Amino acid sequence: MLETLEKAINKSTADFIETRLVESNSTRINIRNDEINLTTSGYLIEFGVRVLVKGSWGFASANDPTELSNCIKSAEKLARTSAKHSIEAKLAEAPVSIEHINVKVKKDPRDISLEDKANRCLELSKRGFNQEKVQAADLIYMDSQSNWYYLNSEGTKLEYTPTASFFMFNAFVKDQQLMSFSDQQGGKYGFELLDNKEFFVDNVCEDALLLLHSKLPPKGKTQVIIDPEMAGTLAHEAVGHALEADTIINKNSIVNRIGQKIGSRIVNITDDPTIPKEFGSYPFDSEGTPGLKTVLVENGRVKNFLQSRETAFKTDKQVTGNARSQGPSEFPLVRMSNTFFERGDQSFEELLEGVNGVYVRGFKGGVVDTDTGFFQFACPHGNIIKDGELTEPLRDITILGNIIETLRHVNAIGNDLQTGFPGMCGKAGQGVPVGGGGPHIRIKEVLIG
Amino acid sequence: MIETFETSVHAITARSSRDRIEVCKSSRAHGFGVRVIKDGAIGFSFYSKESEKEHAIKRAMQSASLSPKEHYALPQPLKPTKVKQYDSELAHMEEEGVIELLIDTINGASEEAEPSKGEVSVGIATTHVSNSNGIDVSQKDTILSAYVSAKKEEAIGYEYFAKKKIEQDLTPLGKEAGHWASHSAGGKPINFQGQIIISVETISNFFETCVLRNLNGENLRRKKSLWKQDDVVMHPNFSLKEDPTIPWTAGAVSTDDEGLPTQKKTLIEHGIVKKILYDTRTANLVATKSTGNGFRAGFNTVPLITSTNLILSTDKPTDIFDVKKGVYVKELMGFHNMNPITGDFSLDIVQGFTVKNGELDRPIKGCMLVGNFLDALKTARLGKQEQGKTYFFSPEMQFDGKVIHK
């Protein structure tokens, strides 16, 4: 495959050309209640070509490899046509690599029959559906094995064969009212992802039941302890997005310089695509640059921005391997990988000591306005903390605030770092898999909405 | 029994950042989805090259062998509805035209503010559905969509639209975004309880998040819906219609992705649920007929229940701006944060204004609108002028609500 791609790009007259091609075999299993709803498997091929002509980008994609030459011509034409109105793009240096990475998993999904996969999913969904007050249960399982090829006119040639799997379980419970709770797991795993997941399903059902007896939170400013999943959200949504170099270059971020103080001295945040098995891990980004661990915040100050080759040139920094796209059919953008708060030195019990406030658990959705630094996260549940004890359960907690103000109010960080919370991050209409987490974190004052 | 769904899509998109173009791209995709019915059970697979067809059918048969025996049969042919959804002028637009439209939005936004982000996309799609019952339906679609945001100081204005017909000039869209940004600058937080007026974009977002799920036949069948036929769910003056036949609108479509004709229908009449939406599979499970709402996200997915254009109307239009004191909410942020089942929300007001003696008065910022949208629908009032830029059409809405200072 690399040879075919190489022949095609060698004919291009562009100043820079790169092509990405992905072939993937995928399976999807949908279970509804105690029944297999549908199993789907299929094979897809997709590719994209990006060219730079006199500083102007052009991009074309298709899913028929015989269209490769036409796509190159089309991308070149688009670059030339838009040149008059384009931003002038230049690329920072990136290592030229020739590599073939074959990632092995414990239970290769290709070695397991569709029937065996479906039956295991059914077993887990039935377990949930048969629990007390569960009205409906949905389980979705997906796996994919891909061949990923990257080639550019600077001589980089990469081949990578990732396997990934994901599953989500959603329980709907009812007594006086209807409530729903879902949780998900995923990463660079094979079918072993579904090993020992009975406890996970039970937890989802328990959490759903808990919502039936939970109150809406009291609104107003209060002291808050967030769990590792919410810590990951805070690191990703509130900090990571504001440190994406394209956002900073376009003056759409509240952060504007390295060294800027954005948090208390105990705040340390890292982005790392090299953690094995995480949902947001990768050996190379969509520009063929190796993924690197990047310290974003050190002792409360901005240490690095996340960079693509284009933004690294503009900001005169090194590349960080954070140019990612949803697939080969999309244009790479500066994106995070696995973003997390580094561990502190206190136990959860120490964090709770003497606190009156709210404990926030899990993550439902979030938005951040990097321009103003305002963020808003929705959390499925939590508890009132009274004199250092977790008391009444709460549901639908919205926490909101300003990035800098909130990080400056971080007054204690736990020693219980936990990662492995998969999610899809959206930007400019593209979703990419990301991971992250953190330890428990105490924040002196946050607004509960 | 077998059904093949074939689709071919070509789109040209230009994206801008501030006043320059970031990238222009062309994307093409072509592929097939194949559903087989074996002993009343459904199997599915997909492929992108004709040569893979046999292999995909085998995979679909294997999938059917694991599915429940639902005694399902593929739909029978019916006469397609005629809908204006393909504009040959738009279909022939090349990259120069797309770039020109994007430049229009930038120029428009620059009049009163600074352009921030923009995107214009033109797409052509052809679909063909055939099944062993004799359905053999093709349709062609064009779509033009645009998004623009503008900044003035810390304030942002957004505008977007989608339709199936060409527009010669998108300057007004950019102008509108610039206008809202410019008029939102210098906002102050407030606390307020009283009459809230929300824009059509905001009503549309609420409907998408917490209303439509209750009109979905699959959710009703599986007890995941709060509503059922004949429930009183809205103000007695309100009606909700689905109309895929409105020419050139984003939701204009003659047949669904199972090859069935789409229909204009009343979903809620005088506040009472009259019709629930179905695809053929769910309809079969509850012994009813498909409403022509089986649409797919692409050739590699099965049809799911999806609505087209929605029109919310009232028997008694009111001058909803005729208030001494109120708040107008143009844009809220973070709908995925609200509870889609209960309708409880607590959302940040991105663009909002106080209303004084029937006029927009001062911009507000740093506040949240809180309440329950499903409850609000029972007592709300609708204005006089229907508006809508994508799939949802309605007058603006007024209800008693609360804005809190963050």
**A207 and A225 both lie in a single domain:** no
**A50 and A176 both lie in a single domain:** yes
Long-range contacts from B261-266, C-beta under 8 angstroms, 24+ separation: B261/B78, B261/B79, B261/B80, B261/B81, B261/B292, B262/B81, B262/B83, B262/B292, B262/B293, B262/B308, B263/B81, B263/B291, B263/B292, B265/B241, B265/B291, B266/B239, B266/B240, B266/B241
**B162 and B110 both lie in a single domain:** yes
Amino acid at B33: G
Q: Are A382 and A394 in contact (CB under 8 A)?
A: yes
| Residues facing B265 on adjacent strands | B242
- The structural domain count of chain A equals 2
CA of A86 vs chain B CAs: smallest distance (Å): 4
The interface residues of chain A toward chain B in range 120-139, judged by CB-CB distance below 8 A, are: 135-136
Of residues A40, A87, A178, nearest to B20 (C-beta)? A87
Cα–Cα distances in angstroms (integers) from residue A184 to residues A146, A254, A282, in the given order: 22, 32, 20
**B393 and B273 both lie in a single domain:** yes
Of residues B67, B337, B348, nearest to A36 (C-beta)? B67
- Helix, strand, or coil here: B175? helix
A426 vs A424: CA distance, rounded Å? 6
Residues of chain A with pLDDT below 70 are none
Angle at B199 between CA B194 and CA B204, to 5 degrees: 115
Phi-psi region of A35 (alpha: psi -120 to 50; beta: other; left: phi over 0): beta
**B346 contacts A449? CB cut-off 8 A:** yes
Q: In what order do the strands lie in the sheet with B310-314?
A: B272-273, B265-269, B238-242, B310-314, B392-393
**A106 and A232 both lie in a single domain:** no
B61 φ, ψ (degrees, to nearest 5): -65, -40
Of residues B17, B56, B344, nearest to A216 (C-beta)? B344
**A439 and A302 both lie in a single domain:** yes
CA of A67 vs chain B CAs: smallest distance (Å): 10
**pLDDT at position B354 over 80:** yes
| A110 shares contact with chain B (CB less than 8 Å) | no
A173 vs A182: CA distance, rounded Å? 11
Question: What range defines the domain where residue A57 resides?
Answer: 2-212
Tell me what pLDDT residue A3 has: 85
CA of B231 vs chain A CAs: smallest distance (Å): 16
**A277 and A363 both lie in a single domain:** yes
**B24 and B145 both lie in a single domain:** yes
Here the tokens at position B55 are 């292999």
Q: Are B399 and B379 in contact (CB under 8 A)?
A: yes
Tell me what pLDDT residue B337 has: 80
Contacts of B10 in chain A (CB under 8 A): none
CATH at residue B103:
3.30.2290.10
**B280 and B316 both lie in a single domain:** yes
**B99 contacts A85? CB cut-off 8 A:** yes
**B246 and B162 both lie in a single domain:** no
Measure the N-to-C terminal CA separation of chain B; round to a whole number of Å.
59
**B53 and B153 both lie in a single domain:** yes
Angle at B358 between CA B356 and CA B363, to 5 degrees: 45
**A302 and A173 both lie in a single domain:** no
Domain end, chosen from B183, B211, B238, is at: B183
**B47 contacts A42? CB cut-off 8 A:** yes
Tell me what pLDDT residue A57 has: 97
CA of B326 vs chain A CAs: smallest distance (Å): 21
**pLDDT at position B406 over 80:** no
Tell me what pLDDT residue A315 has: 96
**A191 and A286 both lie in a single domain:** no
CA of A50 vs chain B CAs: smallest distance (Å): 9
B53 vs B19: CA distance, rounded Å? 47
Question: What range defines the domain where residue B291 resides?
Answer: 187-406
**A159 and A280 both lie in a single domain:** no
Q: Are B329 and B204 in contact (CB under 8 A)?
A: no
Q: Higher-confidence residue: A363 or B275?
A: B275
Tell me what pLDDT residue B62 has: 96
Tell me what pLDDT residue A364 has: 84
**B152 and B211 both lie in a single domain:** no
Tell me what pLDDT residue B63 has: 97
**pLDDT at position B369 over 80:** yes
**A198 and A305 both lie in a single domain:** no
Domain end, chosen from B158, B183, B208, is at: B183
Domain end, chosen from B183, B202, B221, is at: B183
Residue whose tokens read 């679609």:
B141
- The structural domain count of chain B equals 2
**A60 contacts B224? CB cut-off 8 A:** no
**B26 and B169 both lie in a single domain:** yes
Here the tokens at position A308 are 């693509």
Tell me what pLDDT residue A1 has: 77
**B103 contacts A85? CB cut-off 8 A:** yes
- Helix, strand, or coil here: A218? coil
B366 band by pLDDT with thresholds 50, 70 and 90: confident
Q: Are A360 and A397 in contact (CB under 8 A)?
A: yes
Q: Are B124 and B9 in contact (CB under 8 A)?
A: yes
Of residues A44, A85, A400, nearest to B48 (C-beta)? A44
**A135 contacts B151? CB cut-off 8 A:** no
Domain end, chosen from A165, A196, A212, is at: A212
pTM above 0.90, yes or no: yes
**B176 and B292 both lie in a single domain:** no
* Rg, C-alpha atoms of chain A: 23
DSSP string spanning A73-130? Answer: HHHHHHHHHHGGGB-----------EEEEE---SS-GGGS-HHHHHHHHHHHHHHHHT
CA of A354 vs chain B CAs: smallest distance (Å): 26
**B120 and B205 both lie in a single domain:** no
Of residues A33, A63, A367, nearest to B334 (C-beta)? A367
Here the tokens at position B269 are 């009449």
B163 vs B342: CA distance, rounded Å? 32
The interface residues of chain A toward chain B in range 40-59, judged by CB-CB distance below 8 A, are: 40-46, 56-59
Tell me what pLDDT residue B132 has: 96
Closest-CA residue in chain B for A31? B67
**B178 and B252 both lie in a single domain:** no
Domain end, chosen from A212, A241, A259, is at: A212
**pLDDT at position B306 over 80:** yes
List CB contacts of B263: < 8 A, sequence separation 6 or more: B81, B244, B291, B292
Tell me what pLDDT residue B149 has: 95
Average pLDDT of chain A, as a whole number: 95
**A363 and A436 both lie in a single domain:** yes
Q: Which of B337, B365, B372 to mutate to test the interface with A (most CBs of A within 10 A)?
A: B337
On the 0-12 / 13-18 / 19+ scale of CB atoms within 10 A, A84 is exposed
Task: Name the E strands within A245-322.
Answer: 269-271, 294-298, 301-302
Here the tokens at position B105 are 């939005």
Domain end, chosen from A212, A233, A250, is at: A212
List CB contacts of B401: < 8 A, sequence separation 6 or more: B193, B194, B195, B196, B369, B370, B371, B376
**A40 contacts B99? CB cut-off 8 A:** no
Q: Which of B13, B66, B300 to mutate to test the interface with A (most CBs of A within 10 A)?
A: B66
- Helix, strand, or coil here: B356? strand
B21 vs B138: CA distance, rounded Å? 36
**A290 and A370 both lie in a single domain:** yes
- How many other C-beta atoms are found inside a 10 Å radius of the C-beta of residue A77? 18
Q: Which of B32, B56, B38 is nearest to B1 (CA)?
A: B38
Number of helices (H) and strands (E) in chain A: give both, helices first.
Answer: 9, 23
pLDDT in tens, A54-98: 999 999 999 999 999 999 999 999 999 999 999 999 999 999 999
A443 vs A221: CA distance, rounded Å? 11
B333 band by pLDDT with thresholds 50, 70 and 90: confident
**B154 contacts A64? CB cut-off 8 A:** no
State what percent of residues in chain B have pLDDT above 90. 93
Here the tokens at position A353 are 């000591």
Tell me what pLDDT residue A220 has: 87
Cα–Cα distances in angstroms (integers) from residue B126 to residues A197, B86, B191, B261, B335, in the given order: 43, 10, 51, 16, 32
**B308 and B170 both lie in a single domain:** no
Average pLDDT of chain B, as a whole number: 96
Query: Which ipTM was obtained for this model?
Result: 0.91
Tell me what pLDDT residue B334 has: 84
Here the tokens at position B39 are 């002993």
Crossing angle of the two packed helices A68-82 and A2-10, in degrees rounded to 10: 40
**pLDDT at position B128 over 80:** yes
* β-strands A269-271, A163-174 pairing: unpaired
pLDDT in tens, B169-192: 999 999 999 999 999 999 999 999
| Residues facing B127 on adjacent strands | B7, B139
- Helix, strand, or coil here: B315? coil
**A160 and A228 both lie in a single domain:** no
